[in-house]
Amino acid sequence: MCGIVGIISTRPVSARLLEGLKRLEYRGYDSAGIAVFNGQGIKRCRAAGKIVNLQSALQESPIEGTCGIAHTRWATHGRPTRTNAHPHQTSQVAIVHNGIIENHKALREELIDQGHVFATQTDSEVIAHLIQHHLDKGLGETDAFQASIDKLEGAYAVAALIGTHSQTLYAARHGSPLVIGFGTDEMFVGSDAFALAPFTQKVLYLEEGDSAIVNIDNVTIKDKAGAPVTRDILTAKISAVMAEKGNYRHFMEKEIHEQPESLARTVAAYIDPDTHLPLLDDAGPLLQNADRLVAIACGTAFYAASVAKYWFEQYADIHVETDIASEFRYRHPALAKNGTALFISQSGETADTLAALRYCKRAGLGTIGIVNAPESSIARETNTNLHTLAGPEIGVASTKAFTAQLAVLALGAIGSAHLRKTISDDEAKAHIEALEHLPTLCKAALETEQQCASIAPTLAQASQTLFLGRGAYFPLALEGALKLKEVTYLHAEGYAAGELKHGPIALIEEGTPVVIIAPNDALIEKTISNVEEIAARGAHVIAITDKACASHFEGQARHTICLPDLPGLTGPIISAIPLQFLAYYTALKRGTNMDQPRNLAKSVTVE
């Protein structure tokens, strides 16, 4: 995680470094800092906590210069204190780093033996000392930077100031993204093009192993073998406008309410308006001809993948394996020779998902990205993409991106079933028609808001909540529990309702809240039996169901959240909405920061 910005200009840079940092706060908000050349050398300012704290510190003790670097941190090594905040500095060097330096202990010991004194517990500080060490040995700035980068093992995006009166930024990447931006009489470095969007749309993405020397009017790049290279300069299509909360109290609340529009946009992009059949473009053949699919993701996106398994297997008759990216990449998976891999990611930058993608590419699989950030690393490295059109998602806990992922996967499953002829034209059209109703169904589901708000105090005072579902609603139960944990810091467990008797039923005592997700489907009778079992043991049952089944829960559930009837594949997508409201209102009741929960980050760019 962590976000990096650097600017070299003819004008002062501090305010703009801060502006860039605010756009990177989704990567971490444990501490922040900036360093600039101010004519006498490198001056820095740092603060623990969110970027507003750095802003206040800078107001009290301003620092200014025309060349600087900045950082927002998600702590990996060392607590999130001001001391451990980046930039890390020696007498002639300041660096900011995103990633993990795996050999930092060995390097630190060597440097300590040579007299270096470390100020922090971070892995990153070793980079500043290494560069200083090479300067002390007599190497010039460029050689000192390159010699130091060559010694690093692990993942890094680094930006550095070196020297005393320098007008140069040094940058390198390996495993963590870094973008160079081109302005008029100024140049930029950033973790992503979004950070640079207020300053320039002209960007160049450094490739793995690249290092760059950025001057005010040019950049010189070397590849991992040390050979000079040029990289394409692109026009980023990223809006400079920062998402605002509007009339909502929180981004999470706003983003939950945006789902009718985000679903409408996403669904419309993949349906042929004339034939009412799915439009999958280049992804079509990859889904049609594959012997097997593997769907890989992290967090909420993994639960979207898990729902998709039910859909692809049932309708397209294709075997789907799902895997958490951090497990997949290291477990030597047996892959189908003619397989296709799906990578689901809101940010498109999740380190483990990206590593899994590279693994699959090396293994020769076809790769499809289902990504919300169209210019992200995953979107750029897959063979083709079925983008989710949820728009920028700011709340750390995913809401509208999740339902957009589900919508794309539903269209992909029906599209693939149609291409593979496991469903007829008429069946495909009926499914598509149901999916076209998603925005309307979603609006109706948003009407459960006040009821969910009234249930939240029960969840807020419980020590644990259980979420249960069967079939495609089982991953929804996992997602409901994750959402509650993330934003309320309360314990929650998601379980397959059929597994109840194999353990979780022991957790139930008088008043334990159990959220059961059970709109009408082929398994509803079995789920109702489960509800009877838990109600008999004193559980406080909260049923999320639909009109067709609401009456079944009478006498068993303390609350029945009734959704409209949910045709075709719409059920798991629409059922997510009351789960999001339950988490949001429970967080509101507990006073937690649901937009930026403690210890979490929106984009997990380290493994």
Count of residues that interact with ligand G6P, criterion CB under 6 A: 16
CA distance 153 to 174: 9
| 3-state SS class at 297 | strand
Q: How far apart are CB 347 and ligand G6P at their closest, in Å?
A: 3
Q: At 46, list the tokens.
A: 């740092």
Tell me if 603 contacts ligand G6P by CB under 6 A.
yes
Inter-residue contact 15 to 65 (CB < 8 Å)? no
CB-nearer residue toward ligand G6P: 299 or 469: 299
CA distance 571 to 546: 9
Q: Enumerate residues 316-345 that contact ligand G6P by CB under 6 A.
A: 345
In one-letter notation, the amino acid at residue 306 is: S
Binding test (CB under 6 A) with ligand G6P, winner from 266, 322, 398, 592: 398
Residue whose C-alpha is closest to residue 361's, from 414, 311, 286, 301: 286
Inter-residue contact 501 to 529 (CB < 8 Å)? no
Tell me if 350 contacts ligand G6P by CB under 6 A.
yes
Binding region for ligand G6P (CB under 6 A) out of 34-42, 81-89, 207-215, 392-400: 392-400
Tell me if 24 contacts ligand G6P by CB under 6 A.
no
> Omega into 87 within 30° of 0, i.e. cis?
yes
Q: How far apart are CB 398 and ligand G6P at their closest, in Å?
A: 4
Binding test (CB under 6 A) with ligand G6P, winner from 300, 382, 388, 448: 300
Active site residue 602: yes
CA distance 343 to 353: 7
Inter-residue contact 295 to 342 (CB < 8 Å)? yes
Binding test (CB under 6 A) with ligand G6P, winner from 298, 365, 515, 534: 298
DSSP code string of 410-422: HHHHHHHHHHTTS
Q: How far apart are CB 90 and ligand G6P at their closest, in Å?
A: 34
Q: How far apart are CB 483 and ligand G6P at their closest, in Å?
A: 9
Backbone φ, ψ for residue 387 (5° rounding): -65, 145
Per-residue CA distances from 250 to 233, 246, 399, 429, 584 (Å): 37, 9, 13, 38, 9
Q: How far apart are CB 232 and ligand G6P at their closest, in Å?
A: 25
Binding test (CB under 6 A) with ligand G6P, winner from 66, 347, 527, 596: 347
Per-residue CA distances from 216 to 92, 165, 440 (Å): 20, 14, 52
CB-nearer residue toward ligand G6P: 84 or 346: 346
Binding region for ligand G6P (CB under 6 A) out of 74-82, 149-157, 220-228, 294-302: 294-302
Tell me if 389 contacts ligand G6P by CB under 6 A.
no
CA 53 to chain centre: 24
Tell me if 301 contacts ligand G6P by CB under 6 A.
yes
Q: How far apart are CB 289 and ligand G6P at their closest, in Å?
A: 27
Residue whose C-alpha is closest to residue 312's, from 395, 410, 215, 393: 410
CA distance 603 to 349: 7
| Element holding 33 (H helix, E strand) | strand 31-37
Neighbours of 197 (CB within 10 A): 21
Binding region for ligand G6P (CB under 6 A) out of 110-118, 285-293, 306-314, 595-603: 595-603
User: In this structure, what DSSP letter does residue 120 have?
Assistant: -
Q: How far apart are CB 486 and ligand G6P at their closest, in Å?
A: 7
Q: How far apart are CB 323 and ligand G6P at their closest, in Å?
A: 14
CB-nearer residue toward ligand G6P: 5 or 606: 606
In this structure, the strands spanning 366-371 and 464-469 are unpaired
Binding region for ligand G6P (CB under 6 A) out of 287-295, 393-401, 504-512, 540-548: 393-401
Binding test (CB under 6 A) with ligand G6P, winner from 4, 396, 524, 531: 396
Q: Nearest to ligand G6P by Cβ — which residue?
A: 299
CB-nearer residue toward ligand G6P: 354 or 569: 354
Tell me if 475 contacts ligand G6P by CB under 6 A.
no
Binding region for ligand G6P (CB under 6 A) out of 93-101, 165-173, 299-307, 524-532: 299-307
CB-nearer residue toward ligand G6P: 432 or 604: 604
| 3-state SS class at 207 | coil
Binding test (CB under 6 A) with ligand G6P, winner from 397, 445, 472, 544: 397
Per-residue CA distances from 314 to 119, 307, 410, 569, 573 (Å): 58, 11, 12, 11, 17
Cα dihedral 113, 119, 124, 127 sign: negative
Binding region for ligand G6P (CB under 6 A) out of 133-141, 347-355, 452-460, 551-559: 347-355
Tell me if 353 contacts ligand G6P by CB under 6 A.
yes
Backbone φ, ψ for residue 322 (5° rounding): -115, 145
CB-nearer residue toward ligand G6P: 325 or 557: 325
Binding test (CB under 6 A) with ligand G6P, winner from 438, 534, 602, 605: 602
CA distance 222 to 142: 12
Binding test (CB under 6 A) with ligand G6P, winner from 299, 339, 415, 578: 299
Catalytic choice (43, 222, 483, 602): 602
CB-nearer residue toward ligand G6P: 446 or 600: 600
Match 């069946």 to its residue by tokens.
427
Catalytic choice (2, 442, 549, 562): 2
Q: At 402, list the tokens.
A: 């999740």
Binding region for ligand G6P (CB under 6 A) out of 92-100, 285-293, 346-354, 440-448: 346-354
Binding mask 532-571 for ligand G6P (x = CB under 6 A): ----------------------------------------
For the chain, how many helices (H) and strands (E)? Answer: 20, 25
Per-residue CA distances from 220 to 158, 204, 215, 540 (Å): 16, 12, 8, 64
Inter-residue contact 61 to 40 (CB < 8 Å)? no
Tell me if 346 contacts ligand G6P by CB under 6 A.
yes
**Which of the residues are catalytic?**
2, 602
Q: Which residues bind ligand G6P (CB under 6 A)?
A: 298-301, 345-347, 350, 353, 396-398, 600, 602-604
